[in-house]
Amino acid sequence: MTRPPCCDELMSVKKGLWTPEEDAKLLAYVSNHGTGNWTNVPKRAGLKRCGKSCRLRWTNYLRPNLKHEGFTPHEEELIVTLHANIGSRWSVIASQLPGRTDNDVKNYWNTKLSKRLALNGIDPVTHRPIADVKESITSLQISAAATTAASAAARRCRSPHVFANGDLRNTHFANDVISPTSSSSSSSTASTAANQNPISNAGTPPPPPLPDVDWVDFLAEDASLYLEELDAHLASPAAAPASTSSTILSKAPPGDGDGGFRSTEEVSDIVQGVTASDGWSSFVDGILNRDRQLMSEFAGLTPDLDLL
DNA sequence: AATAGTCGCAACCGCCAGGGG
DNA sequence: CCCCCTGGCGGTTGCGACTAT
């Protein structure tokens, strides 16, 4: 049943970093024959590499017109904005950044932007202020206490649940052992859940939390890593509300952390909004307004859901 | 100067969708 | 219509470079 490997494992396929000689061979082959039919590329180019590896090397490193310098503030804005609107669709995001690959964008997000968002009081998963998340947790706990009678019915449903407004308030993994070992890993886990199950039960009331394993538990644990910084941030007289901060890391479009799909046209609109904007505030306002408009038009619905 | 810890990037892995036979 | 191959995608890992002690 398992799919055979893309490369003949009997043949000694080299792994790891590419040498300049290998790069030269691949470049020479592609310049002569073009891209495509990657499975035959290693043999024809005289490389002891997997075809997939060749394609990746070309796409992420050797391809012409790739930028290898650092990301500009404008690119950062674009990444954060698009991530807030479409989630971790790195290829879509990268397509809006000339010279950048999805791997570049993904790495930059994972290593820099998500951490900076967290440090500035924005949950990198939902793009909402941590204060809102804290409030959600509190209200959830109150709600949970009042609705324990319904928990038996909810126990039968294993999918993460998201409120119709996009808030990820009550995701649980009844049969999964969630044991976050670091903020980045747990963030990644939550991100995956949020993005792969966007508004999975829109229109239906969220079930109450389960007493055994509740995602809020580890969210709270995870969030605690930077809640102190958030409190300090909010306590500071100079601190602006997170959603109006002039820094890139403070943007928090309301009610949309679901990673719901946006069409190419909508992505382009977002990009144009960033490009046309002469200031972060107007840019943010534009995004927020558009987000509110979309959420009101398609409350609780996403094309992903429509496909189900 | 040596060592441990952290960071960032490159590459790999597994899954999935689309297209062709 | 079905199966298989290929390419694409997102998540994860490995490792070298850098920094702090």
Q: What's the topology of domain A20-62?
A: Arc Repressor Mutant, subunit A (1.10.10)
At A67-95, the pLDDT tens digits run 888 898 889 988 988 888 888 889 889 98
In which band, very low, low, confident or very high, does the pLDDT at A277 lie, cut at 50, 70 and 90?
low
List, as one string, the DSSP characters of A188-210. HHHHHHHHHSTTTTTTSPPPPPP
Greatest mean pLDDT range, A48-52, A168-172, A196-200: A48-52
User: What pLDDT, on a 0 to 100 scale, did the predictor assign at position A146?
Assistant: 65
Angle at A83 between CA A299 and CA A261, to 5 degrees: 40
Measured distance CA(A128)–CA(A107) in Å, rounded = 22
Q: Strand C: which bases are under 7 Å from protein Cβ?
A: 5-12, 15-16
pTM equals 0.60
Cα–Cα distance list, A230 to A66, A184, A218 (Å) = 37, 18, 18
- When the pLDDT of each residue in chain A is averaged and rounded to a whole number, the result is 61
Domain with CATH 1.10.10.60 in chain A: 73-120
Give the residue nearest to nucleotide C5 (CA to C1').
A6
Cβ of A55 < 7 Å from strand B?
A: no
At A111-154, the pLDDT tens digits run 888 888 887 888 887 887 877 766 776 777 677 666 654 544 44
Q: Which CATH number fits domain A73-120: 1.10.10.60, 3.40.1440.10, 3.40.50.2000, 3.30.1360.70?
A: 1.10.10.60
Nucleotide nearest A108 (Cα, C1')? B8
List residues, Cβ < 7 Å, touching strand C: A 4, 6, 16-17, 36-39, 51-52, 55, 59, 88-92, 102-103, 106-107, 110, 185, 188-189, 191-192, 195-196
User: What pLDDT, on a 0 to 100 scale, did the predictor assign at position A18?
Assistant: 92
Cβ of A18 < 7 Å from strand B?
A: yes
Cβ of A90 < 7 Å from strand B?
A: no
For residue A250, pLDDT over 80 is answered with no
- A215 vs A291, which has greater pLDDT? A291
Angle at A59 between CA A103 and CA A70, to 5 degrees: 50
In which band, very low, low, confident or very high, does the pLDDT at A169 lie, cut at 50, 70 and 90?
very low
Measured distance CA(A285)–CA(A289) in Å, rounded = 6
Nucleotide nearest A39 (Cα, C1')? C6
User: What pLDDT, on a 0 to 100 scale, did the predictor assign at position A3?
Assistant: 40
